[in-house]
Amino acid sequence: MIKRSYYKQKIWLGTFGMGGYVTSDPNNDDERDVEAIRYAIKKGIFQIDTSESYAGGKTEMLIGEAIKCFSRNRLVIATKVREYNLFYDAVIESCKKSLERLQTSYIDVYYIHKQNPEIPINETIAALNKLLDMGLIKNIGLSNVGIDTIKKYSQLLKKPVYAVQNQYNLVCRESQRKKIIDYCRKNRIRFIAWRPIRLLYPGCPDPFYPEGTYKLLDEVAKKYNKTNVQIAVKWLLQQDCVEIVFKSSNKDHIDEILDTENFEILYEDWKRLDEEFPVQLEVGCTANNYFEVT
């Protein structure tokens, strides 16, 4: 069983949708989002994940506002540079703009959001190494990648790759099938599952594991007196190197996720979910390897 002191370190608060989606939403309830971030921190979620592309940068601004009242060294802030900004100068400029919006002097984890085959990877890596030297970033992460890309970055970066963030959940298992999680485990790289509870299953009327859609999930949830979402999340978190990033502006939902700390799925039930849950065909399931470096 995971030690309680470590458990919350496997949970990241995602922020996609806060402030808007692709662009800033003028009708967004900014106060609600700021309060949700603060609530999560007060409940012990100190790791916050975002991107320069979320709401055109507004999401980073909301985080900057939310974290003002907390000690910065308690927090782990991760953001991402988008695939269009991977030229050397653009990476440096993107990082500096993110720092301004986040109102912080450094970024704990700086991700490449997605690979861009039109931009030489060596140019991107040179910029990341420069940011490390400048002290503007502490660690480097990769998102939506496969093993070849991880190896390439690992060979040229001044620091080991800190984290890999790919889509991974009960339905989308590409990172499992392609041994990406195993590779991360063997190389002491944190594997962080984005969209840990989101389904893209054809015909599913609701993206969050509604009762009646998956008989096996209903059965296991009933056994432990937990929600389907909690069982799906726990299946991930009981994998030793797997962490999750989830987004919510709803305090009850945040509490629901945190309550997964208070129970353990027996191995036989975990194994049934792993082996018997209907895995979706990978077409459209994930962005992994779309921009794989070879």
At 279 the pLDDT is 77
291 occurs within a structural domain? no
Q: In the predicted model, what is the mean pLDDT of residues 143-152?
A: 96
266 occurs within a structural domain? yes
- Stated pTM of the model: 0.90
Q: What are the pLDDT digits (tens) for 59-68?
A: 999 999 999 9
Domain enclosing residue 198, as ranges: 4-276
Q: What are phi and psi of 245, to 5 degrees?
A: -120, 120
Q: How many domains does the chain have?
A: 1
Q: In the predicted model, what is the mean pLDDT of residues 272-281?
A: 82
pLDDT band at residue 286 under the 50/70/90 scheme: very low
Query: Where residue 133 sits, what CATH number does that domain have?
Result: 3.20.20.100
Could you give the count of Cα atoms lying within 13 Å of 232 in the half-sphere of its Cβ? Answer: 28
281 occurs within a structural domain? no
pLDDT reading at 3 higher than 50: no
At 292 the pLDDT is 46
Q: Reply yes or no on whether 6 is catalytic.
A: no
CA distance 243 to 227: 19
At 4 the pLDDT is 43
139 occurs within a structural domain? yes
Please identify which of the residues 39, 54, 111, 214 carries the catalytic annotation.
Answer: 54
285 occurs within a structural domain? no
Q: What are the pLDDT digits (tens) for 249-263?
A: 999 999 999 999 999
146 occurs within a structural domain? yes
CA distance 125 to 153: 7
33 occurs within a structural domain? yes
Residue 34 Cα distances to 95, 250, 292, angstroms: 22, 11, 35
Q: Are 171 and 278 in contact (CB under 8 A)?
A: yes
pLDDT reading at 48 higher than 70: yes
294 occurs within a structural domain? no
At 203 the pLDDT is 44
